[in-house]
């Protein structure tokens, strides 16, 4: 009887301590995809920079929990790059899969590199600048909402 109770306790403890599968809603997926794009463009393209607080502001605008999904996106991206250090505790498998898929699409679109670099940077950078505000063109102030 003691063994049965011990096994039941172990199963109950495992169920309680196992994190529930994260369900990613549309705004969260959008944040992860656009956040990944912004990170890649910021690294690969010299003509863009990231305004302070812009990623958090974009998460706030979408209603996404930045404290959870910001680090998960950043570390999910770092996990995709061989030899790069990342915080395993910050990873969320569903986020990492979205990051990997986004990076794969961007990588395929960059071929042949560097011949397509300027076109690639302009395309992906334009999306991030126009839709999210997470990046801006260096030397140009971002437009305020309502500016024409």
Which segments within the chain are labelled E, that is strand? 48-49, 136-137
Higher pLDDT, 10 or 37: 37
At 143, list the tokens.
């437009």
Q: How far is CA 109 from CA 73, 115, 127, in A?
A: 21, 12, 14
Q: Report the C-alpha gap between 137 and 126 in whole angstroms.
A: 9
pLDDT of residue 105: 93
Q: In this predicted structure, what is the pLDDT of residue 126?
A: 94
- pTM, to two decimals: 0.77
pLDDT in tens, 108-128: 988 887 888 999 999 999 999
In the chain, the largest separation of any two C-alpha atoms, in whole Å, equals 76
| Model confidence at 19: pLDDT above 50 | no
Average pLDDT estimate for 74-79: 96
């Amino acid at each position: 009887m003691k063994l049965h109770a011990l096994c039941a306790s172990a199963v109950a403890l495992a169920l309680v301590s196992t994190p529930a599968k994260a369900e990613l809603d549309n705004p969260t997926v959008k944040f992860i995809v656009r956040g990944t794009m912004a990170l890649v463009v910021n690294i690969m393209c010299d003509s863009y920079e990231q305004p302070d607080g812009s990623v958090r502001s974009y998460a706030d605008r979408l209603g996404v929990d930045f404290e959870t999904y910001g680090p998960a996106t950043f570390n999910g991206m770092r996990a995709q790059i061989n030899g790069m250090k990342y915080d395993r505790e910050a990873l969320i498998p569903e986020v990492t899969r979205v990051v990997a898929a986004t990076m794969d699409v961007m990588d395929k679109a960059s071929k042949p590199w560097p011949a397509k670099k300027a076109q690639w940077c302009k395309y992906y950078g334009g999306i991030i600048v126009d839709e999210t505000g997470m990046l801006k063109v260096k030397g140009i102030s971002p437009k305020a909402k309502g500016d024409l």
